[in-house]
């Protein structure tokens, strides 16, 4: 999982954990965009694998909706200190994992791993959805073909499935023609 909008999400998470900003660190009017890539290593081939990835996507969406509902029903879980403590617990787990890997032990790598941690990102997405009382919608893209992608992204996304989620009611609320456009633009700049 990743969050591609706002584009500076990793810096915001790092600043929040360091106590430089408070929750909520995403404004109500900002569009949040989350992504999940399926078949990242080898792509998705065959109807059975497509169905399995689609089912996993459905379960992922249900989990995010359920998590947002839990945050909504427990407002204390959106308290800045409570949220920071949960993130710090995850930071400690990541730090312990990185102790065994001297390559990944640099401060820069540690911050990158923490700010991109799927558990932290899922909670972040669900908490802000709940805090701002936003709707959410998700769109799944079946295995992407070359002609659907810019040349620069083909090696990363051809034959992969993509699940995108936004903090809006539906795709009509997006300022783009397609839900995939802002993700592709972000991914091109990200590299």
Contact 149, 181 (CB under 8 A): no
Query: Which range is least confidently modeled, 6-10, 18-22, 78-82?
Result: 78-82
**pLDDT higher than threshold 60 for residue 103:** no
User: Is 102 or 40 the better-scoring residue by pLDDT?
Assistant: 40
Q: Give the tens place of pLDDT for each residue, 63-95.
A: 999 999 999 898 777 788 888 998 999 988 888
Exposure on the CB side of residue 148, measured as CA atoms within 13 A: 16
Domain that holds residue 8: 2-190
Label residues 38-52 b or e (16+ Cβ within 10 Å = b): bbeeeebeeeebbee
Average pLDDT, the chain: 91
Number of domains in the chain: 1
Q: How confident is residue 191, by pLDDT bands cut at 50, 70 and 90?
A: low
d(CA 139, CA 132): 21
What pLDDT does 102 receive?
Answer: 58
**Looking at residues 166-184, what average pLDDT do you find?**
95
Paired tokens of 113: 């791993």
- Residue matched to tokens 């633009």: 185
d(CA 106, CA 114): 12
Whole-prediction pTM value?
Answer: 0.90
What pLDDT does 77 receive?
Answer: 75
Contact 165, 137 (CB under 8 A): yes
């Amino acid at each position: 999982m990743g969050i591609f909008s706002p584009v500076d999400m990793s810096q915001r998470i790092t600043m929040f954990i360091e106590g430089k900003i408070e929750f909520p660190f995403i404004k109500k009017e900002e569009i949040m965009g989350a992504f999940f890539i399926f078949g990242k290593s080898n792509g998705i081939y065959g109807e059975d694998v497509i169905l399995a990835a689609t089912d996993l996507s459905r379960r992922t969406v249900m989990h995010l909706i359920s998590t947002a509902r839990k945050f909504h029903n427990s407002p204390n879980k959106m308290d800045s200190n409570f949220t920071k403590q949960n993130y710090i617990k995850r930071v400690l787990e990541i730090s312990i994992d990185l102790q065994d890997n001297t390559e990944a032990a640099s401060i820069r790598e540690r911050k990158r791993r923490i700010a991109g941690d799927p558990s932290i990102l899922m909670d972040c997405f669900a908490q802000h959805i709940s805090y701002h009382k936003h709707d959410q919608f998700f769109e799944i893209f079946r295995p992407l073909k070359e002609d659907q992608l810019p040349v620069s992204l083909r090696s990363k996304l051809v034959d992969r499935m993509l699940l995108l989620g936004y903090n809006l009611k539906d795709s009509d609320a997006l300022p783009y023609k397609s839900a995939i456009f802002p993700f592709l633009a972000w991914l091109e700049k990200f590299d």
